[in-house]
A and B are shown apart, each in its own frame.
Chain A
């Protein structure tokens, strides 16, 4: 069955970077884009960006441009999202999600990133 398995929770200090991984399985990864969405505590969902199946094309939300980098390891199909210059406002659960043409049909379990001094 389709699964997106994310890396575990992280605690980072302000100014540091965090790199979250997302490993898809159960489907042909060459056919689907992977999106990253975050959710601050008690808040809504926020689109961060997307990486295409080959890993060669990305598109980032304006709010994160210059701070986020999405990459893909084609040998393992694992997708990575790295966010730099962290502040307390980046404390959130980060999700990867598979895009099925027009919507997100499968989601990872989420990775909690806590930014605290």
Chain B
């Protein structure tokens, strides 16, 4: 499968909101409600922030939210904080135990 398409970078000032898009196909994002989002700080392992399109694991602030429309999923970070500066990757189930990741987006807090 081809990687899901994400913008290379997004930025915002503290307190603002940013939204990251994740575009796939009907075989992955559009075909399943199993989109997850991962935050990765430099040199660290990814951490799940959203799963099943819009579910938050315990401990993840409610500033993080997810949605999906057709073949495109989105992650919104509201009330941007300095510690949110990181790389973010979307991920979708693609059938038969397979997954596909997004190209990644660098979030910069100005």
Contacts and interface: CB of A to CB of B under 8 A. Distances in A.
B51 A47 contact: no
Interface string B78-103: 00000000000101010011111111
Interface residues of B, number: 23
A50 B97 contact: yes
Contact of B100 (A35, A43, A47, A110): A47
Which of B3, B46, B93, B102 gathers the greatest number of chain A CB atoms within 10 Å?
B46
B45 interface: yes
B48 A104 contact: yes
Interface of B: 3, 34, 36, 38, 45-48, 51-52, 57, 89, 91, 93, 96-104
Given A44-B89, A44-B104, A33 B97 contact: yes
Contacts of B45: 95, 107-110
What's the dominant secondary structure at chain A's contact region? Answer: strand
Interface string A45-66: 1110010000000010100000
Interface string A17-38: 0000000000000000101010
A98 to B, nearest CB: 11
A44 B7 CA distance: 12
A45 B36 contact: no
Interface residues of A, number: 22
A102 interface: yes
Given A46-B3, A95-B46, A105-B51, 10 more contacts: A43-B104, A44-B89, A44-B102, A44-B104, A45-B89, A47-B99, A61-B98, A102-B34, A103-B36, A108-B45
A77 B89 CA distance: 29
10 contacts: A44-B104, A45-B104, A46-B3, A59-B96, A61-B98, A95-B45, A102-B36, A102-B52, A103-B51, A104-B36
Interface in A51-100: 59, 61, 95, 97, 100
B79 to A, nearest CB: 24
B37 to A, nearest CB: 9
Contacts of A103: 34, 36, 48, 51-52, 91
